[in-house]
Structure 1
Amino acid sequence: MIEMQDVWKEYPNGAKALNGINVHITKGEFVYVVGPSGAGKSTFIKLMYREERPTKGHIFVNGFNIERLKDRKVPLLRRSIGVVFQDFKLLPQLTAYENVAFALEVIGIPKRHIKRRVMDALDWVGLADKAEMLPSQMSGGEQQRIAIARALVNNPAVIIADEPTGNLDPDTSWEIMKLFQRINDRGTTIVMATHNKEIVNTMRKRVIAIEAGQIVRDEEKGLYGYDD
């Protein structure tokens, strides 16, 4: 499903983000990626959906060889991956429906198929009744649910989440995590970078800890392990 073999990432300014990462994530896993700020978590996440390229090493995601993937093939990779961000990244001028539909339009899904798929995704996150609302008319939790619907609408094999509860209050964070658990229960692989100690320690999934660009801990039913 996801495999990294001796992956290194160095930026043009000489900063080394990852140093010889090796990891294997199988279909249906739920994995937390934890570590101090600046440890390399976001780079680790971005490499999976080809937002970044590795300096050295091999990365395979859903059968795609990331470092050899031509730019014109990146949309094919991203059809099998949903990405959820801390700041939602919704288009403010578009309604909830239009934000989710946009994810299908950009990959060329015929219009006759879009409405049903969008409404199914909105229904899955409990917001079918908010389809015509703009992001500014919704709470932060609702906006994140719309972002999750957008990630889900293409029925991806993997959802990658980068601090998805970082801008939410504790109660809303738990609602979002319950939603991710439901998604995982249906067989979708989830890889989530997070600083939320309480959630990691309560839900007890696989934990990959990164420090100074290296994996220092990889545990089934792991704990967060940091004080921040």
Structure 2
Amino acid sequence: MIEMKNVHKVYDNGVTALSGISTKIEAGEFVYVVGQSGAGKSSFIKLMYHEEVPTDGKVNINHIDIGKMKKRQVPYLRRNIGVIYQDFKLLPKLTAYENVAFALEVIEENPRKIRRRVMDVLDKVGLKHKARFIPAQLSGGEQQRVAIARAIVNNPKIVIADEPTGNLDPDTSWEIMRIFEEVNDTGTTLIMATHSREIVNSIRKRVIAMENGQIVRDEHRGEYGYED
């Protein structure tokens, strides 16, 4: 479970990104985070994996206040959280296989288990046949699927996706959403910040809408609610 209690985030330049956020996301939920640019979506989700820490208030994951974590504890938190970025953040000189394997190598997983697990997740995202390709040899959609494989290879309890379809064509975006639904169906909590009206309105899930750093709407099977 993820819980925020009266969370505020003010950056060093004086910009207030979040003002009094309080919400709960239960284990296994699929949640869209929507809102116009500058609404606070990215700050909201970055708090969940300790990329940012609150200026005030509490961010709890499974009843642990992660805002008070020491720096050395953060890597252990992130073992249970997979993060997917709009710009993929793949290592350009590593193959698809090596990019995914890296997530297990840093936690010193058994090499035999690494090979089996990496090939399993590449198969899951439809890229087993391109395991030896480097990112430059892959399309944008294929790179995003490698990023998804990297995020789920450690069987995280939470997957956080920040605008994961923002740079993709519509057909590829639907393929990515199919993968996300399959991941969520295994019991993984999935939180996705998005600007895609079509996706939110077609694949109905919980919607948290943000404006000016506040939650203004929280609906089960909600709609996007903003004009393109």
Tell me which interval the TM-score lies in, with the shorter structure as reference length. Answer: over 0.9
1:2 aligns with 2:2: yes
* Matched AA of 1:182: E
1:215 counterpart SS class:
strand
* Aligned match of 2:174: 174
CA contact (8 A) 1:141 1:172 kept: yes
Rounded to whole Å, the distance in 2 between the matches of 1:70 and 1:134 is 35
CA contact (8 A) 1:75 1:107 kept: no
Cα distance per residue 1:182-212 (max 9 Å; x no partner): 1111111100000000000111110000100
* Aligned match of 1:133: 133
* Matched AA of 1:121: V
Matches within 5 A, 1:10-29: 10-29=10-29
* Aligned match of 2:191: 191
* Aligned match of 2:79: 79
Measure how far apart 1:62 and its partner are.
3.6
Rounded to whole Å, the distance in 2 between the matches of 1:170 and 1:113 is 35
Rounded to whole Å, the distance in 2 between the matches of 1:37 and 1:129 is 37
* Aligned match of 2:51: 51
Rounded to whole Å, the distance in 2 between the matches of 1:143 and 1:32 is 22
2:83 counterpart SS class:
strand
* Matched AA of 1:39: A
Measure how far apart 1:180 and its partner are.
0.3
* Aligned match of 1:61: 61
2:225 counterpart SS class:
coil
| TM, length-normalised to structure 2 | 0.98
Measure how far apart 1:9 and its partner are.
0.2
Measure how far apart 1:139 and its partner are.
0.9
* Aligned match of 2:147: 147
Instruction: Please list every run of 5 or more consecutive structure 1 residues that lacks an aligned counterpart in the other structure.
Output: none
* Aligned match of 2:221: 221
* Aligned match of 2:110: 110
* Matched AA of 2:105: E
Rounded to whole Å, the distance in 2 between the matches of 1:126 and 1:110 is 24
Instruction: Classify 1:63/1:128 alpha carbon distance in 2 versus 1 (closer, same or farther; 3 Å).
Output: farther
* Aligned positions, number: 228
Rounded to whole Å, the distance in 2 between the matches of 1:70 and 1:133 is 37
Cα distance per residue 1:18-52 (max 9 Å; x no partner): 00000100011000000010010000010000000
Rounded to whole Å, the distance in 1 between the matches of 2:134 and 2:211 is 39
Measure how far apart 1:88 and its partner are.
0.6
* Aligned match of 2:41: 41
Measure how far apart 1:120 and its partner are.
1.2
Identity across aligned pairs (percent)? 68
Rounded to whole Å, the distance in 2 between the matches of 1:73 and 1:110 is 22
Rounded to whole Å, the distance in 2 between the matches of 1:90 and 1:103 is 11
Rounded to whole Å, the distance in 2 between the matches of 1:174 and 1:120 is 21
Measure how far apart 1:63 and its partner are.
4.2
CA contact (8 A) 1:82 1:158 kept: yes
Measure how far apart 1:117 and its partner are.
1.3
Matches within 5 A, 1:150-161: 150-161=150-161
CA contact (8 A) 1:205 1:221 kept: yes
Measure how far apart 1:111 and its partner are.
2.4
* Matched AA of 1:81: I
Instruction: Please list every run of 5 or more consecutive structure 2 residues that lacks an aligned counterpart in the other structure.
Output: none
Measure how far apart 1:110 and its partner are.
3.0
